Amino acid sequence: MKVEFAPLNIQPARRLQTVAVLQWVLKYLLLGPMSIGITVMLITHNYSFLYIPYLMWLYFDWHTPERGGRRSSWIKNWTLWKHFKDYFPIHLIKTQDLDPSHNYIFGFHPHGIMAVGAFGNFSVNYSDFKYLFPGFTSYLHVLPLWFWCPVFQEYVMSVGLVSVSKKSVSYVVSKEGGGNISVIVLGGAKESLDAHPGKFTLFIRQQKGFVKIALTHGTSLVPVVSFGENELFKQTDNPEGSWIRTVQNKLQKIMGFALPLFHARGVFQYNFGLMPYRKAIHTVVGRPIPVRQTLNPTQEQIEELHQTYMEELRKLFEEHKGKYGIPEHTLVLK
């Protein structure tokens, strides 16, 4: 196979975009394990004057990710994130105005490999979110294990990420005065194993916890479809029943996160690497589904609202797929 190298006379703006995405990918993949490794090293070599104060701080700060986190406007406004957004580029599309006196739950689909559209639109401050949804603050919920990594959890919270636990989502949607949006990537880690270009497989049929929270707090649900999310990486073929998928499913159950075998392009060549392809992402925010508060919802009420959500999700996909080059009959709900 002939290697296709990146040209030398690339515009400086594109160079900056590549750097912005590269640092994000490296942080996504390496910073968590590195922070654990450094902590273990400090303990092993008995640097108690460093690790004891921090572990004490970690103990008292343990529940912050479930209480709205601790975001940093300075970090969320880094110019780096503008270059990150422009690399793909990432677009946010609104279909209907939302009432800033209410709180909402956004169900984000699909997860893709790294949920790039969710991060670019709802975490850092260079998307059109503030312009399209004035008066709102978004909270992107991620796996709790992201907050188990010393030091790394500080960075994760600084860009506006919070835990996806029931307690954390309930905290956001129960805040007085409205204007808060919980963004949940509903397919989770398992859905990343089906993130293949040209496919749109969503794990939603068994995901009902968010529906119960919405009913308990009377929070409107909003489906969100991110077109292009699955086009950013190629993944090793892993159909259900294959040995690769069997191992991936077992590891996912044990560790709580998935290990998709993916690749895309490199920094200086386009044939292989962990840098995502430059594919446009169009994240479409659908119409809100009104929810009447029911403090103790029955299973029947949960099922009914869940079915309504899936119908609205399918409608949103069908209405917009033609605009973004999605083939016919590609949506699969599992």
Half-sphere exposure of 226 (CA within 13 A, CB side): 36
Which CATH number is correct for 12-333, 3.40.50, 1.10.3470, 2.60.40, 3.40.1130? 3.40.1130
pLDDT tens readout for residues 272-303: 889 999 999 999 999 999 999 999 999 999 99
Between 252 and 159, the more confident residue is 159
Q: What is the mean pLDDT of residues 74-101?
A: 96
pLDDT of residue 4: 74
pLDDT tens readout for residues 255-270: 777 888 999 998 888 7
Residue 316 near residue 223, CB atoms below 8 Å: yes
pLDDT of residue 64: 94
Q: Strand 234-235 relative to strand 331-333: parallel, antiparallel, unpaired?
A: unpaired
What dihedral do alpha carbons 266, 189, 73, 55 form, nearest 10°?
A: -100
Between 270 and 183, the more confident residue is 183
pLDDT of residue 214: 97
Parse the chain into domains and list their residue ranges.
12-333
Question: What's the rounded Cα separation, in Å, for the pair 219 and 171?
Answer: 12
At residue 12 the predicted structure's pLDDT band, cuts being 50, 70 and 90, is: confident
pLDDT tens readout for residues 34-80: 888 888 888 888 888 888 888 898 889 899 999 999 999 999 999 99
Among 89, 277, 300, residue whose Cα is nearest residue 211? 300
Between 176 and 55, the more confident residue is 176
Burial class (CB in 10 A: 0-12, 13-18, 19+), 170: middle
Q: What is the mean pLDDT of residues 135-145?
A: 94
Q: What is the mean pLDDT of residues 123-146?
A: 94
At residue 33 the predicted structure's pLDDT band, cuts being 50, 70 and 90, is: confident
pLDDT of residue 251: 83
pLDDT mean across residues, the chain: 91
At residue 197 the predicted structure's pLDDT band, cuts being 50, 70 and 90, is: very high
Tokens of 146: 């992201």
pLDDT of residue 150: 84
pLDDT of residue 329: 64
At residue 327 the predicted structure's pLDDT band, cuts being 50, 70 and 90, is: confident
pLDDT of residue 330: 79
Over the chain, what HEC string results? CCCCECCCCCCHHHHHHHHHHHHHHHHHHHHHHHHHHHHHHHHHCCCHHHHHHHHHHHHHCCCHHHCCCCCCHHHHCCCHHHHHHHHCCEEEEECCCCCCCCCEEEEEECCCCCCHHHHHHHCCCCCCHHHHCCCCEEEEEECHHHHCCCCHHHHHHHCCEEECCHHHHHHHHCCCCCCEEEEEECCHHHHHCCCCCCCEEECCCCCCHHHHHHHHHCCEEEEEEEECHHHCCEECCCCCCCHHHHHHHHHHHHHCCCCCCEECECCCECCCCCECCCCCEEEEECCCECCCCCCCCCHHHHHHHHHHHHHHHHHHHHHHHHHHCCCCCCEEEC
pLDDT of residue 16: 92
pLDDT of residue 1: 63
Least confident range from 107-121, 203-217, 316-330: namely 316-330
The yes-or-no verdict on residue 5 having pLDDT over 70 is no
pLDDT tens readout for residues 104-120: 999 999 999 999 999 99
Tokens of 227: 């077109």
